[in-house]
Amino acid sequence: MHTDAQKHAAPHGTDIQMTYVEAIVQAQIEEMDRDERVILMGEDVSIYGRGKLFERFGKRRVWNMPISEGGFTGLAIGAAISGLRPIVDLSTASFVYLASDQIINQASKLRFMTGGQIDIPIVFRCFMYSAGSMAAQHADRPYPLFMNVPGLKIISPTSAADIKGLMKSAIRDGDPVLVFEDARLWSLEGDVPTDPDRVIPIGKADVKREGRDVTLVAIAGAIRPTIEAVDALTEEGVSVEVIDPRTLKPLDHEAVKMSVAKTGRLVIVENGHRVCNVGSEIAAVMAEEAFDLLRRPILRLSAPDIHVPFSPALEKGFFPTKDDIAAAVRRLL
């Protein structure tokens, strides 16, 4: 682990080890340094490593707001219309419901309703739990709800380098972007580019592992048990290609299609509820556009269509596990 001083002193064009959550903070620091119109507001913005933002930019550009998600989200949308570029930290993903009227009825629609006269350059951040007995009201994955809304972009990458590059793209984008982070990924370390101008384009998937037998699309926090399952399958001689969409809207269907053309088999894994989730959308498009490439039926793994339980014993098997994923892959062979 490198110190903050080492991270800032590292020459551009090199990579440095940092965690997923450190990469998010670093992306915000770089973009706030780059553009004085970028501001941060939201709940608990002084914790989870973000105290550095207070220290660096002060109360003029970092605002710790009252617990009124609809109120400060509306304030941020007005600030975006007036020329600022707000980052709105909504904390736990379930709190996005409270801001959803502002996000859906205002942020996503005003460019359309004004004939392109108004831009809404705004980022909404939130994080999702998959362990820790957070219970039903703090453990949702609301991203499918927002995938159904025109005018919004949604990202949920799984590596430190990807969250930094996509967070920077989101802040620079002219449209509203939602960032759904899985808290299980916060502690993951990886090599992250120090170049402040290196961004990752919204809408491009990434192949995390190359393989020939089965295509496995992993969404957000599902990447961890997915990689564990793939490692075990590799020892059995099974070659699995792992794709991280990184962006949930717009989805990179071409990347999935290219992989399916090679493997002929598709498994989609996510921690969202089964009905109308990301896997549903990918499966529908592949059935419409790549049916002739498939040798076996598409399989989807997800959380069941019930609320997330508080009980640690029930929570333990609620989301797809390494063994679930490995078994699904074997079914297609």
Query: What stretch of H or E contains 283?
Result: helix 278-289
Look up 138 and say whether it is catalytic: yes
Which amino acid, 207?
A: V
Query: Which residues contact residue 114 at a Cβ distance below 8 angstroms, ignoring those fewer than 6 apart?
Result: none
Structure token pair of residue 263: 């493997």
Query: Which residues contact residue 61 at a Cβ distance below 8 angstroms, ignoring those fewer than 6 apart?
Result: 32, 36, 38, 39, 40
User: Which three-class secondary structure state does DSSP give residue 25?
Assistant: helix
User: Which three-class secondary structure state does DSSP give residue 146?
Assistant: helix
Catalytic residue among 12, 138, 253, 273: 138
Burial of 160 (0-12, 13-18, 19+ CB in 10 A): buried
Which amino acid, 298?
A: I
Pairing of strands 62-64, 38-42: parallel
276 phi, psi to nearest 5 deg = 60, 45
CA dihedral 245, 248, 254, 259 (to 10 degrees): 30
> Is it true that the peptide bond before 196 is cis, omega within 30 degrees of 0?
no
Is residue 233 a contact partner of residue 182, using CB atoms and an 8 Å limit? Answer: no
Burial of 108 (0-12, 13-18, 19+ CB in 10 A): buried
Q: Cα–Cα distance between 331 and 333 in angstroms, integer?
A: 6
Q: Which residues pair with 88 in a beta bridge?
A: 41, 124
Could you tell me if residue 155 is left (phi over 0), alpha (psi between -120 and 50 degrees) or otherwise beta?
A: beta
Q: Catalytic positions, please?
A: 138
